Structure 1
Amino acid sequence: MIVSDLWRYPVKSLRGEPLREAEVRPWGISGDRRWMVVDPSGEKLWAGEHHDMVTVSAARTGQGLRLRAGGRPDLHVDEPVDGPPVEVRLRGVGHAVSAGDPADAWLSEALGRRVRLVWLADPARRPMSEAHGGRPGDVLSFADAAPLLLATLPSLRQLDDWIAQNGGGAPLEMSRFRPNLVIDGDLPPFAEDTWNEVQAGEVRFRFAEHCDRCAVTTLDPATGRSGKEPIRTLARHRRWDGQVWFGIRVVPLNEGTITVGDPVRAEGTRSSR
């Protein structure tokens, strides 16, 4: 098995960026989900409700951020180390740092609604919930549940086959599932369900929980248009506890570097669902 792809999502719910190499910290890939879009009351904006968010791309540039959307000039945003605090209604956060009026105005025009961009200066202060497999000392950024999401290409190929058998269309892009770490190799579909620990490059991870999937996976990453897949097919083949499942959430056990092409070793000691 090898690392086939690495992804970082600098701004929660915006389009991410592929990486050749990633530095992993206790809260996830360096620079992943350190920024978030909120409404004027501090509630997070979510691509499952605001589909056009996936058409706006965000990429790290040194100590800042580059925002890009079709038909608009790019915007560079520096990390707002001295910005004013903004109330944020997200578990374990309470407040974040305002990115400033230019960033707010650019995103508000791009998304067609009044929003603010905020930055999490210290991701080590947000504890990971025990309900999602967190243990004392585990931390995460603005990510929903765990520091990283892991998925495998054999599982995606199996899902594509199921969709094709049901008269579906073209194969799905893995980017719909917004993974950080994608693995390929000679392994059966959904082998990751049973993994207890994974070594990728210099970093070892432990399993936190299976990943339940939401409406964001039904969005075309290029256009933001929604459809029925993959939720419809996952509901036929991968449904339990009232949810549908694809990928696993993992927690790093050490810091280090992962590069595309690195070997991967996994230990499976749990039963598959």
Structure 2
Amino acid sequence: MIQFKSEEEIEIIKESAQILGKAHGEVAKYVKEGVKTAFLDKIAEEFIRDHGGVPSFKGYNGFPSSLCISVNEVVVHGFPGQYQLKDGDIISIDCGVFHQGFHSDSAYTYPVGEVSPKITTLLKATEESLYLGIENAVYGKRVGDIGHAIQKFIEAKGYTVVRELVGHGLGRSLHEAPEVPNWGKRGSGAKLQRGMVIAIEPMVNLGTRNVVQERDGWTIRTADRRPSAHFEHTVAIFEDRTEILTTHRFIEENFKR
């Protein structure tokens, strides 16, 4: 069942999203060669807790960390650890914040050092597809319109969209109805109504769309071990507008390319 939010509740989610955005920005300062992914996780958790939030992911169904850190061929749900970032890597950082009873959720994929032109193009296309999805997340349309827009754009570029993982509603719970796939048919799926809050998160592969789950029960990687990119925003649906509640502004201000 979809949980509709009042304007007051959406304001609380926006406050959560501000903590989240600033936590992402703090982590962005340290995304560079030689840095261990566990250190990035420590930075995020300390910032979130110091600013009155709780990391949404830590302990969620047993997940051990505050960040999902997914490097290169890892699509999502990678564990932070002792891996040191290398020149040419890409790293997806996905984070959630629980604040005053509500969750927010966003992700961003970074290039580390000098990446190949084909990787730069993959990142750009995936980020563009996120905003194209958001353009179609409007009152009166349907969830399938979001997925259709993302899929059509991405496949026209020669990339593939992961099917096994989807965006989602969120609020008092980190994952709520409806599911928001990154593929679909126009006019299909749940109708977008006032008070819906959803996370839109295209996951786009350079090669095959097929993925496998590692033995840790969490890490999802591409079947062909080619790179994957992931960008995400939390948005709220109103009758007269769609509002992006999360922000990548602090990432863009702090990340040194």
TM-score of the alignment, normalized to the shorter chain, above 0.5: no
When Rg is computed on C-alpha atoms for both structures, the one with the higher figure is: 1
Structure 1 or 2: more strand by fraction? 1
Which is richer in helix? 2
TM-score, normalization by structure 2: 0.29
